[in-house]
Amino acid sequence: MDVDFEIKNLTSFKIGGKIARMYFPASLEEFIEIIKNEPDALIVGNLSNTLVSSFGYNGAVISTSKMNEISINNTTVTAGAGVKGPKLSQTAAENCLSGLEFMIGFPGSVGGEVYMNASANCQSVADVLKSVKVYCPEKGIITIPKSNMGFAYRTSICQNKPYIILEAEFELVKKDKEEINSQMQKNLDFRKKHQPSLKLPNCGSIFKNPNGNSAGRLLDSIGAKQLAFGGVRVWDNHANFIVNDRGGNSLDVLELMFQMYTKVKEKYNIELEPEIRFLGGNNEKEVEICRKLKML
């Protein structure tokens, strides 16, 4: 356990204060032992989709980032929740297995990608997932088949149940390695054109696409690319990204998100739903904004 852990450098936003108690289990056994002692701990992965409060968090946080083993049995690939998307994609490609090419440009890890049914370039987690090993407070470790995962756009059953993703099993298909690598390169090229590099600290897409619409298009139409607050701003090339290139803090991000949300609601009567998570609670203004954005 790390006490008063400085988390800022672990987040893709390069934002965050001190975590009162931070844990990094490296195995299922270590995770179970920790969660028994810290039943109310919040679970995080690679922190690529999480805004951590600059004012810190007073509770316990468990990171699955060190649960990063990969095993392959014929066309079945099993990955720990902490395996990063690009690593898993590359490992599959090295073994001539196709189905995970879409993960090559993801900054996140398997746990978060399964949790939100991540997708890109006409591929998604739901297309290739076989089963998920989760921790359930009432039953311990259980295995859930894909058919019971409740996958839909940017969602899974794990968002509505107290399930903590520990491991995922994927069923892939054999394919020529050059063909796989070619698709991966196309995916990377597309991502470079449409999303900011992590050299510009960001947390990926800020808002989910409303049904039948595009959050980026709606935000572009209200002039979001001209918006900024404190040390953060909306990215020049896509209105659904916030970049932290001037040393911004978490309140800056939330204030800017609320501006974006409010302008779209006023013009279209559409309430954008945040795609990123928030970890905090020590600052009253942040809590107020998060409640309005339905992030708490």
* DSSP SS3 for 94: helix
Q: Give the side-chain half-sphere CA count within 13 A for 282.
A: 16
Pairing of strands 123-124, 277-279: unpaired
Point out the catalytic residue in the list 171, 255, 273, 275. Answer: 275
Cα Dmax for the chain:
55
* DSSP SS3 for 11: coil
Point out the catalytic residue in the list 63, 131, 205, 250. Answer: 205
Q: Where are the alpha helices (DSSP H) in the chain?
A: 28-37, 85-94, 110-115, 125-128, 177-194, 215-221, 250-268, 284-292
d(CA 236, CA 101): 27
Following DSSP, what letter does each residue of 203-229 receive, concatenated?
-S-SBPPPTTS-HHHHHHHTTGGG-EE
Point out the catalytic residue in the list 30, 154, 191, 271. Answer: 154
233 classed as catalytic: no
191 classed as catalytic: no
The catalytic residues are 154, 205, 275
